[in-house]
Structure 1
C-alpha cells in the first residue's frame, strides 16, 4: 500500500492530536508532522504542499514513522530533530542541555536595551553562566560584534555542544569554557552577567509534564524552593562585575519578588523585572555600584 505525502501528514496529524495533553499540542500537531517529514525528506514546507500526492518510499515511511513514534511518546521535537531556533539562529540541541525557549529571548532584549541606553560600554565584556547550548551567549554575540562574550557551563557535554554552535555560527567574539559558575573566572571582570540557572523546586509537579520530562534535571532543579543557584549567583556576582555592571537572571514567574529582594539585600540598584511573552515576570536584574571607600 502506497502512502502519499498528504496522506501521511493527515494520518500523523490525527495521531498527534489524539495524543496531545493540551490545546497547544493539538494546535501544533500538523506543524510537528510537517517538520518530521521535512527532516526525513530533506525538503522545505513548500515541497510538501507542491508534491502532496507524491508517494513516500518504504524507507522514508519507516524513517518518519520512527520519528513520529518518539513524538507520540512525548519526546520533545527539538531533541528528535536535533535543532531549535533561538533569536533567529539555528542551535544544535541534545538531551544533555535545556531546549532554548522563546521566553528567554526577553533576557537578550534587555541586554540590547542596556546597550541602546548607553548603560553598557561599546566594547562590553559579558558572561553567560550555565550556557547550555550557548543560546544566550551567542545571541548576544550576534548583536554586538565588538563585545567579548564568554559562555560557561559545568557539564562537559554542554560545553562541547555550545562550542559546536559557536563554531557553526562563526561567532568569533565568543568563547565557551567549562566552569562551575564563577570557579574558572578568577580575576576576570565583566560589564554584564546573564544566566538562566536551574530554578524549579524539586517537588514541582510540572517536572512530570511536557518536554521537561526529557530535559536534564541538573539544569532544571535547585534546592531551597528553586532559589539556591539564583542566590549563589547574586551573592558572587559583585566580585566579578565592573563598576556599573549589570546582572540579569531568568527565574520562575512566582519567584520575581524573592529574586528582587535578594538583589536588593546584596546591594544592587536600579532593580527591575521584565515579563515574558506570556506576560509573566520572568527576568529580574540590577546594576552594581560599588560602595565608596571610607
Structure 2
C-alpha cells in the first residue's frame, strides 16, 4: 500500500467511526509517527510503497485512534503556547482554552517587576505546561507541584528539556508541601463533578480521573481548599489564577471575594 492510499483509507475509517473531526490530519500525523515522513515528504513520496513493518506499526496506531485514544497520548506530545510538551496517560492533555489562563497571567505580570511576580508555583501541574510556559515567558523562578508522582515525572522531563534554569518539584496535595510565599499561584485544578466525569467525551475519558474530578457535589472541594491555602502562601500583593468550568464561575468568584481576593 502506498503512503497516499494508506492516508486516505485511514481518514475514511476515522470518519466512518466518528473519531474526532480532523481525520486527514490524524492520518497524516500517524503516518509521520510510523515512518518519519513529515507533511511535505508525504506529498513528495505519495506513491511510495510502505514497508511491511511500517504497515504493522500503522495498524497498531490506527486501532488505538479508532478506540478514541487521544492523538496526544498516541504521539506522546502536545503543542501548547508554541512549545512541545511530553504527555502521557498520567497527565491531563494541555488544551487551547488553558492558553487563556497563561495569557491572563502574562497580562497581569507585564507591568510588574520580577520581585513582585516571583517565585511562581503551578499547583496540580500535570505535564507542567502552564508553569513552564510562564517561567519561560516571564523569566522567573518556578515550582511545579502535583499529588501524582507519575505526573510529576512528566513535568520534570519537560522542565529539563525546556528550561535553562532548574525548577523546584514538589510532591504533595495542593500547597501542603511548601511553606514558601509566592508572587503568583496558578492552577488548572480538577474541578469536574462526578456526574460531569461520566458525561465527558470518549476521548476525555482516557484522561486521569485524578486530574479531572474536583470532589464534592459541585466539584469545587479542591478549589475551595486551594483558595484558602493561598491566603497564607501569597506574598503581599501576590495573585492567584485559577481555571474552572463556566458553570462554576459565579460560585468561584464569590469564594474568592469571601477570601478578600
Q: Does the pair score TM above 0.5?
A: yes
Structure 1 unaligned regions, length at least 5: 269-294
In structure 1, the residue corresponding to 2:170 is in which secondary structure?
strand
More deviation, 204-213/126-135: 204-213
- Give the one of 197, 205, 214 matched to 1:222: 214
Please say if 1:18 is aligned against 2:16. yes
Give CA-to-partner distance per residue, 1:204-239, whole Å, 9 cap, x none: 165442321111101101222111111111111010
Q: Relative contact order (C-alpha < 8 Å, sep 6+): which is higher? A: 2
Runs of 4+ in 1 over 3 A off after TM superposition: 119-123, 205-208
Correspondence for 1:79: 73
RMSD of aligned Cα (Å)? 1.5
Asked whether the 8 Å contact 1:195–1:250 carries over to 2, the reply is yes
Correspondence for 2:142: 149
Please say if 1:261 is aligned against 2:254. yes
TM-score, reference length from structure 1: 0.85
Question: Superposition pairs for residues 247-258 of structure 1, below 5 Å?
Answer: 247-258=240-251
Mapped partners of 2:111, 2:199: distance in 1: 38
Question: Superposition pairs for residues 159-178 of structure 1, below 5 Å?
Answer: 159-172=152-165, 174-178=167-171
Give CA-to-partner distance per residue, 1:149-170, whole Å, 9 cap, x none: 1110111111111101111113
Correspondence for 2:189: 197
- Give the one of 30, 34, 39 matched to 2:28: 34
TM-score, reference length from structure 2: 0.95
Mapped partners of 2:118, 2:196: distance in 1: 37
In structure 1, the residue corresponding to 2:130 is in which secondary structure?
helix
Asked whether the 8 Å contact 2:116–2:238 carries over to 1, the reply is no
More deviation, 206-215/218-227: 206-215
| Closer/same/farther in 2, CA of residues 144 and 208 from structure 1, 3 Å limit | closer
Asked whether the 8 Å contact 1:138–1:171 carries over to 2, the reply is no
